[in-house]
Amino acid sequence: MRRVVLAVPDEFAPFRQAARGLLAEAVPPHAIAWSEGEPDLFAGASAAPTSGGVGDRVGPAPDGPCAPPVAVPARFLPLAEEVIRHRAPERFALLYEALWRITQGERALLQVASDPLVHRLERMRRAVSHDAHRMTAFLRFREAGPNRFVAWYEPAHRVLRQVAPFFTGRFAAMHWAILTPDASLAWDGSAACFGPGVSRDAAPCEDALETWWQDYYRATFNPARANETALRRHIPRRFWRNLPEAETVPELLSQAGRRTAAMTSEKLRPVIKN
């Protein structure tokens, strides 16, 4: 059994390097055990070849003259770059299985939406894309000093690298840091730097921006369209603890009926002519 350990689990390049080497050696999907983390240099030091003739190797497969680029359909790369950020541990095996089938003659595999493998990869891609969109919508910065801001966020998948261009473009004039359990991102106004993940305890406490967000949400809240079910579907409960405006939701929902009735009675009040 060939064991491949990817130290950077949310980047496509290390997986591509490993996959090229494995395909060059014609290693089938069932003969590979994928994992993530730091390779154990001693795990496979004395491993003997299996009966199939494939040795037990720790770390990425070789990439060099014996591992040329693999020709794949254009739609595979964007699919793989998103799926690789999914938290499912089997994502590497699924992507390699797709690569194996494509290189073994199924060039149109990704066009077969009914294929179980393609269907699963597409669902994983949509989940990552949706999670990245949520991060851009639900992340809130807190002031940590003059023109310095910090945000803590817990994404469902490893999407920090994917959304980095959005934040560096939107908040280019600020100095800020985004902290997640998996990784962190710092921006000094000109360059971005990725670092290790941190726990929620490292996140800043409340600041003056909390009140601003709450006042803004109160001002834009439409009681006539209050729908708690739709609200929970749009903003799942797990995001609420990191959204300052979430503290105002119970209050606004409880007042929605009375405020709507008052608005309606005001509109129906007859006009008194002098």
From first to last of the 274 residues of the chain, give the pLDDT tens digit.
899 999 988 999 999 999 999 999 999 999 999 999 865 555 543 232 333 333 333 344 444 445 678 889 999 999 999 999 999 999 999 999 999 999 999 999 999 999 999 999 999 999 999 999 999 988 888 888 888 888 889 999 999 999 999 999 999 999 999 999 999 999 999 999 999 998 887 766 655 556 655 565 556 666 666 666 665 666 666 666 666 655 666 666 666 666 666 666 665 555 555 4
Q: How many whole angstroms separate alpha carbon 15 and alpha carbon 21? A: 10
Phi, then psi, of 177 in degrees rounded to 5: -140, 140
Separation CA 38–CA 237 (nearest Å): 34
Distances (CA, A) of 192 to 140, 144, 164, 172, 177: 18, 18, 8, 10, 9
- pTM for the whole thing? 0.72
As a whole number of angstroms, the distance between CA 159 and CA 182 comes to 10
DSSP code string of 234-266 = HS-GGGGGG-GGGGGHHHHHHHHHHHHHHHHHH
Which token pair is 222?
């439409």
- Identify the DSSP state of 29: G
Helical ranges in 89-171 per DSSP H: 91-103, 116-138, 160-170
